[in-house]
Amino acid sequence: MAESAESSKDYFVTTVNEDHATICWGCGLRLLLPTHAPVFKCGWCGAITSQNVNKTETKCLWGRRLQDRCFVTILSVFMLFLICGGVWAVHWFVFSVSYTFGIFHYILTAILAATTVSTFSLSAFRCAGTPPTLLWGSYPVVGKGDLENYTFCHYCVKPKSPRAHHCRSCGTCVLDMDHHCPFIGNCVGAANHRHFIAFLFSAVFSTIYISFISAYAGLHIWPPVKYRSLGHLNGSGRDLAIRAFKEVMLALVSSAVQLSARGLILVYLFVSSVSLQIGLSVLLWQQLCYIYEGKTYLSHLSSQGSGGDHIEEKGCQNIFRFFGCPYSIFRYLPTLRNSPKRHTK
């Protein structure tokens, strides 16, 4: 009886419910779950498996790509118009001021145009960032922790890095994806994020110069403004201000009718460049704020959704690191004495 009791303690036989057994996609090992878990992590390779995957069809992928190509074409034509139209519209004016000013204008225009077009091309036509290729699916090949926090992309049918995100517009996974920009027809990721920021800087400086030179040249060719009864307005307060505003607007419209084709192009260049300048400046400031915090736009959304469980320090070193400056420069930066900030990579 004693031997029977000892044997019952040494061996325990039970049945396994097949509903609680599953296969890890990362290493191929059979895992026994205590309960039905929709999301679980392999204890060997570290891969995360989600059993509740709602994969949607990507039938409109070609439509999205066509839409992106249309945006890129429109933006390319618009940039070409700003460059060529601006050069033609102010050619007579810059050399009428002085020969030196004309040469300076053309050199600066060539630098800004070449920088803007080249950075735009690198942002639009360069791969945004391909996640690293890893071996997976077999236990002898996958070592312990090789797929730590990796998930499986059911669209690309391959492992997806924790730093990667699948873009349904591009139809591929992008490393350190910030967002999908329709105006460049491409994602902004690890491989072209610097070029995208450089494009924004160049575009902002270019629009500032276009608005300045077009306004300066337009003032010299604008026809004389004739006011009808501005000096004979009576009244006070709000009514007087409204009548004066209407009188000024009517005088400007009447004089604008007499503008030549060159003058109309200058007006259009000024309005469009100022509009672009405001929009691009807001986007550039937002991007620099995310880089300063060590985040991307998608990681910012993720940190808001998760409540910001990860902690990371903000600082100028993130900006220098983003642009590839050597680490030795960080020692000369002023240290921030702020408390650690919440952040998700």
How close are the terminal C-alpha atoms of the chain, in Å?
A: 62
The CA-based angle 142-147-152, given to 5 degrees, is 110
**pLDDT (0 to 100) of residue 343:** 43
Domain hosting 28: range is 19-51+131-164
Residue 3, in any domain of the structure: no
Q: Is the pLDDT of residue 208 over 50?
A: yes
Lowest-pLDDT range of 14-18, 71-75, 139-143, 291-295 = 14-18
Q: What is the mean pLDDT of the segment spanning 139-153?
A: 86
Whether residue 154 is found in the same domain as residue 93:
no
pLDDT band at 48 (very low <50, low <70, confident <90, very high): confident
Domain count across the chain:
2
Q: Is the pLDDT of residue 311 over 90?
A: no
Residue 191, in any domain of the structure: yes
Whether residue 34 is found in the same domain as residue 136:
yes
Q: Are 127 and 192 in contact (CB under 8 A)?
A: yes
Lowest-pLDDT range of 81-85, 110-114, 133-137, 251-255 = 251-255
**pLDDT (0 to 100) of residue 231:** 55
Residue 90, in any domain of the structure: yes
pLDDT band at 16 (very low <50, low <70, confident <90, very high): very low
Residue 209, in any domain of the structure: yes
Structure tokens at 292: 């300063």
Decide: helix, strand or coil at residue 138: coil
Q: What is the mean pLDDT of the segment spanning 249-264?
A: 75
Highest mean pLDDT among 182-196, 249-263, 312-326: 182-196
Q: What is the mean pLDDT of the segment spanning 63-87?
A: 87
Residue 200 is which amino acid? L
**pLDDT (0 to 100) of residue 11:** 43
Catalytic residue selected from 181, 187, 289, 325: 181
Residue 205, in any domain of the structure: yes
Lowest-pLDDT range of 10-14, 125-129, 174-178, 224-228 = 10-14
Whether residue 27 is found in the same domain as residue 125:
no
Distance CA 221, CA 213 (A): 13
What's the distance, CA 24 to chain centroid? 34
Residue 301, in any domain of the structure: yes
Task: Report helix angle 193-221 to 61-97, nearest 10.
Answer: 40
Q: What is the mean pLDDT of the segment spanning 55-83?
A: 80
**Residue carrying the six token digits 């910001």:** 308
Whether residue 271 is found in the same domain as residue 205:
yes
**pLDDT (0 to 100) of residue 270:** 92
Query: pTM of the full predicted structure?
Result: 0.79
**Residue carrying the six token digits 């408390």:** 339
154 CB neighbour count, 10 Å cutoff? 14
**pLDDT (0 to 100) of residue 66:** 85
Mean pLDDT, the chain, whole residue set: 79
The CA-based angle 77-79-83, given to 5 degrees, is 115
181 is catalytic: yes
pLDDT band at 139 (very low <50, low <70, confident <90, very high): confident
What's the distance, CA 169 to chain centroid? 14
**pLDDT (0 to 100) of residue 337:** 41
Residue 334, in any domain of the structure: no
**pLDDT (0 to 100) of residue 286:** 94
**Residue carrying the six token digits 């059911």:** 154
Whether residue 144 is found in the same domain as residue 68:
no
Percent of the residues in the chain that have a pLDDT greater than 70, as a whole number: 75
